[in-house]
Amino acid sequence: MNYIDSHTEGEPTRVIIGGGPDLGSGPLRDRLNRFREKYDDARQFAIQEPRGHVAIVGALLCVPEDPRCAAGVIFFNNTGYLGMCGHGTIGVAITLAYLNRVELGTCLLETPVGIVKTTLHTPNQVSIENVPSYRHLKQVSLTVPGLGTLQGDVAWGGNWFFLIETSPITITSENLPHLIEAARQVRKELRRQGITGANGAEIDHIEFCQPSESSEVNSRNFVFCPGGAYDRSPCGTGTSAKLACLAADGKLNPGETWVQESILGSRFSASYRWDEVGRVLPTITGSAYLCGEGRLIQQAGDPFPTGISTGGFQ
């Protein structure tokens, strides 16, 4: 299996460019289901230890169903599949440029949740116009053991998020173990109380926010991902969900820039426009850098042919 690795503002992406499963044709959502049901060992092989690690998001390149698109892409991580991935889309875009499959300028990428417009400003800086984003529930009260009562919004930005405006723990690298455990407890309590996204969808991302110490930044965040890792970047889908909440509250106007900072201090610049039916269309700008390419090998007799599951969250 051939791959190219990159990182977007610190968050890694592994793009599978050859040797992945043949998922056939048809809608990408159907091909994602085929991937999950018939070829999940390929996901595990590409992403789990010892060939990968908990923070990597994988991206399988596919032939797009829509001929306007430069490529189709299915995102996955150490525990499953993602409808969309903001930082991963930026990583895919610079990878396609490296492979001379796209040029600087605008191209379309097809994902299981919709078409994403990408603009390569340079070989490393990319803007993505994400799928329509929206707030589903406002100011949900959640009592969490050890943390007290927290309030958060449920919003969609390509994945489902529970966004807590005032982080229960200060967002610093030194507090990472405490932030991870707090987010794990929040997600567990959401499950226990049956709080979901639209149509009963699981809320699998938790986002804590707080003011930044920099005057150039609007907010600092910590995002806990489905596989038990934290997002090293400011999170593209999480920032999209954040914009949807800000727009719903009238706190950010169309075209205004919102600068989102990660726990590492890396940044995305974001803005939005309304689409023709009044939905938020976020644009996220960030930078990605290539950091490796190679071939993953499965040798006969390997006791871990599809990798080692580290369990993820429960």
Look up 235 and say whether it is catalytic: yes
Q: What pLDDT score does 310 carry?
A: 67
For all residues of the chain together, what is the average pLDDT? 95
Q: Are residues 124 and 185 in the same domain?
A: no
Beta-bridge partner residues of 274: 280
Q: How confident is the model at residue 215 (pLDDT cuts 50, 70, 90)?
A: very high
The residue segments making up the domain with residue 156 are: 134-274
Contact criterion met (CB below 8 Å) for 94 and 288: yes
Q: Are residues 109 and 235 in the same domain?
A: no
How far CA 10 is from CA of 7, 118, 124, 167, 237, in Å, comes to: 5, 19, 13, 22, 16
> If you average pLDDT over residues 178-202, what whole number do you get?
96
Q: What pLDDT score does 122 carry?
A: 97
Question: What is the count of structural domains for the chain?
Answer: 2
Q: What pLDDT score does 311 carry?
A: 55
Q: pLDDT tens digit string along 1-50?
A: 999 999 999 999 999 999 999 999 999 999 999 999 999 999 999 999 99
Q: Are residues 205 and 119 in the same domain?
A: no
Q: Are residues 158 and 113 in the same domain?
A: no
Nearest to 94, CA basis, from 50, 124, 68? 124
Q: pLDDT tens digit string along 52-91?
A: 999 999 999 999 999 999 999 999 999 899 989 999 999 9
Q: Are residues 180 and 251 in the same domain?
A: yes
> Whole-prediction pTM value?
0.92
Measured between alpha carbons, how far apart are the two ends of the chain, in Å?
30
> If you average pLDDT over residues 151-170, what whole number do you get?
96
Q: How confident is the model at residue 277 (pLDDT cuts 50, 70, 90)?
A: confident
> If you average pLDDT over residues 148-159, what whole number do you get?
95
Domain-embedded: residue 311: no
Q: What pLDDT score does 313 carry?
A: 44
Residue type at 98? Y
CA distance 229 to 185: 14
Q: Are residues 40 and 146 in the same domain?
A: no
Q: pLDDT tens digit string along 95-152?
A: 999 999 999 999 999 999 999 999 999 999 999 999 999 999 999 999 999 999 999 9
Q: Are residues 53 and 99 in the same domain?
A: yes
CA distance 218 to 267: 10
Out of 62, 69, 209, 235, the active site residue is: 235
Alpha helices in 131-276 (DSSP H): 176-193, 236-248
Q: pLDDT tens digit string along 223-272?
A: 999 888 999 999 999 999 999 999 999 999 999 999 999 999 999 999 99
Q: Are residues 220 and 269 in the same domain?
A: yes
Total residue length of the chain: 314
Q: Are residues 176 and 90 in the same domain?
A: no
Domain-embedded: residue 37: yes
In b/e form, how buried is each residue of 172-201, taking b as 16+ CB within 10 angstroms?
A: eeeeeeebbebbebbbebbeeeebbbeeee
312, pLDDT greater than 70: no
Q: Are residues 250 and 262 in the same domain?
A: yes
Give the whole-number percent of the chain exceeding pLDDT 70: 98
Q: Are residues 88 and 203 in the same domain?
A: no
Q: How confident is the model at residue 309 (pLDDT cuts 50, 70, 90)?
A: confident
Q: How many CB atoms lie within 10 A of CB 63?
A: 14
Q: What is the CATH number of the domain that holds 72?
A: 3.10.310.10
Domain-embedded: residue 196: yes
Out of 62, 69, 85, 245, the active site residue is: 85
Q: What pLDDT score does 314 carry?
A: 41
